[in-house]
Each structure stands twice: as structure tokens, then as C-alpha cells.
Amino acid sequence: MSKIKILIVEDEPVIAENISLYLDNNDFEVSAIAYDSDDAFTQLKTNTPDAAILDINLESEKDGIDIASFINKELQIPFLF
């Protein structure tokens, strides 16, 4: 059985790495870590995960709410903040 692929969108590298480690240790596959909204949109379009973990407050042009709106409209995959 293949692992569930999770995209992590988090602008704090230490937090992103901690989430990644937790997921790896619990039989999930981290498809990518996006540190800003541009990278998140690229990952969502080119390497669509099974689910996403989003930071609401990103230090970039768009925030987690904008990314969640895109996911709802275009991908219909589960996400959490």
C-alpha cells in the first residue's frame, strides 16, 4: 500500500522540518516542503499531494487562506492549518 503524500507549506524551516520528521515517523510521505506561496502553488500544480498542511501566516505575497481557496476550487484535496 502506498503512503499518503503530504505537502507542507510553512515559512519557518525548523517547524517545517519538525512536521516532516513527525510525518515520516508515522508512515506518511512528505511530497515537498514549500517555504512560500509561490513554491506551494508550483508544488500543488506539478506534484499534487494527497493532502496539505498549511501555515496561515506566510511571509510571502499570498497566505495560507489563499492557498486553501485554490485547493478548494482546483484540487479538492484535504488540508489543515
Render pLDDT for 36-73 as a digit per residue (tens, 0 to 9): 999 999 999 999 999 999 999 999 999 999 999 999 99
Q: What is the pLDDT of residue 3?
A: 95
- Reported as a pLDDT band with limits 50, 70 and 90, residue 13 is very high
pLDDT of residue 1: 74
Rg, C-alpha atoms of the chain: 12
Q: Which three cell numbers stand for residue 27?
A: 508512515
pTM of the model: 0.95
> Which domains are present in the chain?
5-80 (3.40.50.2300)
